[in-house]
Structure formats: structure tokens, C-alpha cells
Amino acid sequence: MKETPTHYYCNLVGGIQTKNKLQEQFSCFLRGMEGELYQAKELDKIKEYIIEKAKELNEEYPRCKPLSVTFTQYSDNNRHHLCGFEFDNFILMPAYLIKL
């Protein structure tokens, strides 16, 4: 296996019924990113983009319990899990560009 990923793949797994408009809109946003591929050097920008979207939606829906999302890397497998949003399992998966 390669040591350093060249890209990150947006993987959205499962998902349960959301409880309010805020959660619904954020879940829709994450579904829109499903399957997208980003260069590994842009990883911090991708994470910040997702966190900023949660903040933006918090302001748009002030009557809902605000989202507090972060990313966590649980092990050395380079996977970055979105935490603080239990309705979808969103993971930035490492991907490798292989030239034949």
C-alpha cells in the first residue's frame, strides 16, 4: 500500500432520518459531495469548507439545535471521519493515482 494518498474520496455511508430542517439541509449538502475526488494537498480546505457550511446553516436555522462538526482520524489509515453529525457517516477516504 502507498504511504501518502494523492487524493481523497468523499464517501457517505448509511444515514437515518433527520430530525429538523438544519440536519436535513446539511445531510443534503453531504449527499451532494458523495463520490467527489479531491487532491490530497487540498484536504484542509475541504474540511474547512464542510465545517463552514455547517456554521452557515446554523445561522440560517437558528431555532434548531446547532451543528458542531469536526473531523477525526481514528487510526493511521488516513481516513478522516466527520464527527458531531450522527445522521450520516461521512468519511474522506484516501485514494491513490496509479499511472500504468
- β-bridge pairing 70-72 and 80-83: antiparallel
In single-letter form, the type of residue at position 29 comes to F
Q: Looking at residue 67, what DSSP letter applies?
A: P
The pLDDT profile of the chain, 100 residues, written as one tens digit per residue, is 557 899 999 999 877 788 999 999 999 999 999 999 999 999 999 999 999 999 999 999 999 999 999 999 977 789 999 998 888 899 999 999 988 8
The packing angle between helices 43-60 and 21-33, to 10°, is: 150
Instruction: Report pTM.
Output: 0.90
CA dihedral sign, ordered 43, 58, 56, 61: positive
All structural domains of the chain with their residue ranges: 7-95
